[in-house]
């Protein structure tokens, strides 16, 4: 008698969990109308901008809530990717920007309705924007990056028209309104559940929706591990979605998610191990799409506020000692784009390949010039959640630096402790992987390479950078902006606050015949443009 393995039991449980998810009527519909999507994390809240909500929750909300506008998309790698430079109407039928860039005007669709059938009004939009810049949610900080900070900036012109006024012509005002951080709410419904202590209904909106997007939440398990979405038939903000139902199922083990997609029990998965993706590519099934993450990076970050890394010569020496090709091959498994080995910086895009490559002779000379001919002792820290790639990267860095007399202690910390270390700026070296919401050089520098804030992993405070960033943010001329961005990139090459290693990609496994997948700025699935065949 053959006994089932633990893997068999897990697979059976996961597949079984997908089967009964739909309401009775939906079960009778064709398999072609239903998408089965497996994920590694839970959908832990319904508010698109709620604090503590998982990335999965934020991404799924893009299908449930509309925004005034959305990013376009462009073909890439057998699928599509979002187009940061193209913004299209979504809940509005048209929008315009004044010549001075200070006024944005949005004209709403006349036939737009909320999920409860009530019409969308300009007052709903005003309340939603007021909430975005006032409530204690993630939206407030994000919209501030586009000079959207005060309810007084949002005006109702008539029943279908809303005007947004800016203090300066901010390049990121309109893109911010296209993000999941600027959802439009059914204000009448949300206000009915507001209280004096909670005027923006944040508690109610974590467990309920006041939406009008392409899909509505049909069912959600209490633990957030299973969500069923159904198509909203009266959605007018784009072509009707081809898929009538979406089942989202949390399957914690990556190996089980891979088996579900491989067997055809799931149609889509974004959370797979590189080894499974490599096997799928080798065997030719399931289908795999590898999409670039334009603003993503993996890097060794130097704490420029702590010795000896307050000396640019030491930072450059370490950057020249790294075994980049080995790190990319072993830690990055060769998946992505190398961010090293360039002859010189090229243009104003960032991250981009930098002029760093392995040169032990030059590294040793720089260390001697800085007074560290015999090396020194230091520490490299990273969180346990990054161990899959950071463990091999750290080992290779440790071995390489030892040849320069540098003793490197490796600290792999629990994620909560690592967050405290990052906030306190107490680690001399960090291995980090992250991404900026927008593929904009000025925005990237503002988040990761300037200011006294958490995400400036390098604690870099360069006076020229600090002076250039406001110029870039409010520069309307594309050529002038490019010149500023190019100078920012040159300063990174000169000062070496970080040594970029590689740009990661997002790997998507999907069923044969599933078409139209778009890699979005939030790097989760948008079901609205998916279809079979």
pLDDT, tens only, 183-221: 999 999 999 999 999 999 999 999 999 999 999 999 999
Q: What is the pLDDT of residues 487-519, one digit of tens each?
A: 999 999 999 999 999 999 899 999 999 999 999
Please give the pLDDT value at position 17.
55
Superfamily holding 296-503:
Dipeptide-binding Protein; Domain 3 (3.10.105.10)
What are the backbone dihedrals phi and psi of residue 361, each rounded to the nearest 5 degrees, phi first? -65, -45
Order the strands of the 377-383 sheet from edge to edge.
337-338, 498-503, 296-302, 429-435, 377-383, 407-413
Band the pLDDT of 274: cuts 50, 70, 90: confident
Topology (CATH level 3) of domain 6-64+218-273+508-532: D-Maltodextrin-Binding Protein; domain 2 (3.40.190)
Exposure letters 373-390 (e unless 16+ CB within 10 A, then b): eebbebebbbbeebeebb
Please give the pLDDT value at position 5.
53
Q: Which residues pair with 39 in a beta bridge?
A: 250
Query: 421, 427 in Cβ contact below 8 A?
Result: yes
Q: Which helix (H) or strand (E) holds 247?
A: strand 245-250
Evaluated on CA atoms 167, 168, 174, 175, the torsion sign reads negative
Query: 67, 184 in Cβ contact below 8 A?
Result: yes
The span from the CA of 71 to the CA of 74, in Å, is: 10
Please give the pLDDT value at position 1.
46
Band the pLDDT of 12: cuts 50, 70, 90: low
How many Å separate Cα 521 from the centre of its chain?
Answer: 6
DSSP helix/strand/coil, 403: coil
CB atoms within 10 A of CB 292: 17
Band the pLDDT of 397: cuts 50, 70, 90: very high
Was domain 69-188 assigned CATH 3.90.76.10? yes
Mean pLDDT of the chain: 92
Domain locations in the chain as residue ranges: 6-64+218-273+508-532, 69-188, 296-503
Please give the pLDDT value at position 211.
98
Band the pLDDT of 29: cuts 50, 70, 90: low
Please give the pLDDT value at position 263.
94
Query: 484, 468 in Cβ contact below 8 A?
Result: yes
Rounded to an integer, the average pLDDT of 40-51 is 86
The span from the CA of 455 to the CA of 465, in Å, is: 16
The span from the CA of 63 to the CA of 119, in Å, is: 19
Band the pLDDT of 15: cuts 50, 70, 90: low
* Cβ contacts of 366 within 8 Å, gap of 6 or more: 313, 314, 316, 317, 320
Query: 120, 235 in Cβ contact below 8 A?
Result: no
Please give the pLDDT value at position 18.
59
Please give the pLDDT value at position 235.
98
What are the backbone dihedrals phi and psi of residue 22, each rounded to the nearest 5 degrees, phi first? -80, 150
* Cβ contacts of 384 within 8 Å, gap of 6 or more: 412, 413, 414, 415, 418
How, if at all, do strands 407-413 and 377-383 pair? parallel
CA distances from 101 to 272, 443, 446, 509, 523 (A): 43, 18, 21, 42, 30
Is pLDDT above 70 for 10?
no
Cis peptide before 318 (omega within 30 of 0): no
The span from the CA of 283 to the CA of 286, in Å, is: 8
The span from the CA of 69 to the CA of 212, in Å, is: 14
The span from the CA of 420 to the CA of 225, in Å, is: 29
Determine the Cα angle at 160 with ends 159 and 166, to 5°.
Answer: 105
Please give the pLDDT value at position 26.
46
Nearest to 385 by CA among 427, 337, 339, 434: 434
How many Å separate Cα 165 from the centre of its chain?
Answer: 28
The span from the CA of 84 to the CA of 62, in Å, is: 16
Please give the pLDDT value at position 20.
46
Please give the pLDDT value at position 60.
86
Out of 21-35, 86-100, 125-139, 517-531, pick the least confident.
Answer: 21-35
pLDDT top residue among 59 and 411 = 411
């Amino acid at each position: 008698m053959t006994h089932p393995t633990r893997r068999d039991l897990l697979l059976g449980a996961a597949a079984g969990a997908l089967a009964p998810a739909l309401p009775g009527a939906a079960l009778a519909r064709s398999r072609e109308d239903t998408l089965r999507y497996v994920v590694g994390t839970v959908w832990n809240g319904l508010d698109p901008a709620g604090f503590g909500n998982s990335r999965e929750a934020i991404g799924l909300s893009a299908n449930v809530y509309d925004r005034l506008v959305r990013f376009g998309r462009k073909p890439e790698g057998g699928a599509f990717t979002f187009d940061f430079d193209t913004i299209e109407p979504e809940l509005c039928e048209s929008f315009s920007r004044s010549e001075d860039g200070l006024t944005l005007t949005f004209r709403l669709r006349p036939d737009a309705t909320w999920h409860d059938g009530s019409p969308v009004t300009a007052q709903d939009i005003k309340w939603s924007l007021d909430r975005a810049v006032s409530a204690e949610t993630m939206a407030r900080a994000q919209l501030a990056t586009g000079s959207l900070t005060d309810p007084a900036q949002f005006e109702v012109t008539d029943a279908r028209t809303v005007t947004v006024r800016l203090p300066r012509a901010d390049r990121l005002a309109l893109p911010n309104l296209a993000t999941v951080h600027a959802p439009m709410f059914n204000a009448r419904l949300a206000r009915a559940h507001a209280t004096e202590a909670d005027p923006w209904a944040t508690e109610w909106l974590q467990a309920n929706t006041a939406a009008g997007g392409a899909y509505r939440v049909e069912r959600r398990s209490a633990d957030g591990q299973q969500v069923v979405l159904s198509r909203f038939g009266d959605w007018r903000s784009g072509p009707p979605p081809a898929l009538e139902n979406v089942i989202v199922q949390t399957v914690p083990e990556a190996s089980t998610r891979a088996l579900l997609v491989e067997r055809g029990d799931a149609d889509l998965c974004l959370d797979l191990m590189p080894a499974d993706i490599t096997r799928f590519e080798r065997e030719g099934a399931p289908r795999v799409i590898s999409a670039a993450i334009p603003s993503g990076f993996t890097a060794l970050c130097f704490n420029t506020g702590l010795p000896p890394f307050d000396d640019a010569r030491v930072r450059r020496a370490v950057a020249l000692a790294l075994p980049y090709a080995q790190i990319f091959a072993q830690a990055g498994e060769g998946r992505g784009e190398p961010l090293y080995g360039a002859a010189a910086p090229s243009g104003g895009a960032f991250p981009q390949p930098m002029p760093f490559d392995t040169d032990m002779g030059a590294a040793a000379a720089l260390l001697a010039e800085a007074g560290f001919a015999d090396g020194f002792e230091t520490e490299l820290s990273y969180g346990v959640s990054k161990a899959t790639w950071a463990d091999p990267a750290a080992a290779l860095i440790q071995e390489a630096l030892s040849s320069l007399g540098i003793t490197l202690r490796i600290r792999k910390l629990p994620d909560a402790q690592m967050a405290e270390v990052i906030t306190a700026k107490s680690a001399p070296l960090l291995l980090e992987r992250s991404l900026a919401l927008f593929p904009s050089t000025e925005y990237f520098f503002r988040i990761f390479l300037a200011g006294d804030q958490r995400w400036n992993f390098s604690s870099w405070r360069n006076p020229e950078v600090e002076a250039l960033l406001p110029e870039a943010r409010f520069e309307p001329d594309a050529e002038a902006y490019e010149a500023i961005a190019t100078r920012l990139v040159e300063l990174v090459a000169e000062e070496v606050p970080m040594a970029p290693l590689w740009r990661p990609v997002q790997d998507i496994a999907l069923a044969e015949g599933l078409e139209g997948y778009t890699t979005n700025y939030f790097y989760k699935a948008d079901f609205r443009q998916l279809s079979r065949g």
